[in-house]
Chains A and B, each alone.
Chain A
């Protein structure tokens, strides 16, 4: 299994504060070599950096807001998320893992985790937060989801069923949070402003109009 580790492994950099760690150096070295060998170009790498930087939870928020105000759109989103998302002008490449949307209601609350690594709907929300990738989240979200949510400030009543989804395979999950109370007269854009990244993972609920106005 670990045949590659005959040589002394670079020690994780706790050495100097200034200067790159061994891994950072090896990362740069590999890119340099791949470019020198014509396997990829700097521009390709930069383009991909820019692409991922451009993706953010605000994209997911727009989709959630549309689903809140348009029940036909919501039905499509729950049945075929890719088509629904592309319909709002986002371009999900054909090669991205399949995305499924799960709906939180008065009686059901979903929470998403990847215990085995860090699978996340990157193609829509961008890169996952550090905590999502942490050992503590990966360990605890499955066995004590309610305690995890309390840490994020969310107390779910015993009458609500908590459903944890462990993204173990080729599907990625996005939570469609419950629309907050008192938002009947809000514009679609303002509704999108209530939807946070964490509410689309399921560890919290969206902001309320009062919180958003504060």
Chain B
């Protein structure tokens, strides 16, 4: 039974949606953040893949590509003790408060 990320040959007749969405700024920054942290040795491609693969299947299939990258980055940063969930939650609340 293949895991949710192991997609080769999964039964589907779904046509391929060829529309391209312009990346939003935050997606560009998340993409870049991974690159920057990777260059600093704080995260590797293999760890990143593993983190994405560990997402619950329903989540993996429902959130967008960069939302997955965001979720994976949080998993890794928490795991490595770089950030805590409380800090992130607090910062999110602070950002919301500013809007």
Contact = CB atoms under 8 A, between A and B. Distances in A.
A and B touch in the complex (CB under 8 A): yes
Interface of A: 1-2, 4-5, 7, 9, 12, 19-34, 37, 39-40, 44-46, 48-49, 51-53, 95, 97, 113, 115-118, 127, 129-131, 133-140, 142-143, 148, 151-152, 166
Interface residues of B, number: 63
Given A23-B71, A30-B88, A40 B96 contact: no
B9 A142 contact: yes
Contacts, number: 170
Chain A: interface secondary structure? helix
A45 B8 contact: no
Interface of B: 5-12, 14-21, 23-24, 26, 28-33, 35-37, 39-40, 42, 45, 49, 52, 54-56, 59, 61-67, 70-71, 73-75, 77-79, 82-83, 85, 87-88, 91-92, 95-96, 99
Given A26-B92, A131-B18, A45 B83 contact: no
Chain B: interface secondary structure? helix
Contacts of A31: 29, 33
A138 B17 CA distance: 12
A29 B6 contact: no
Nearest to A6: B85
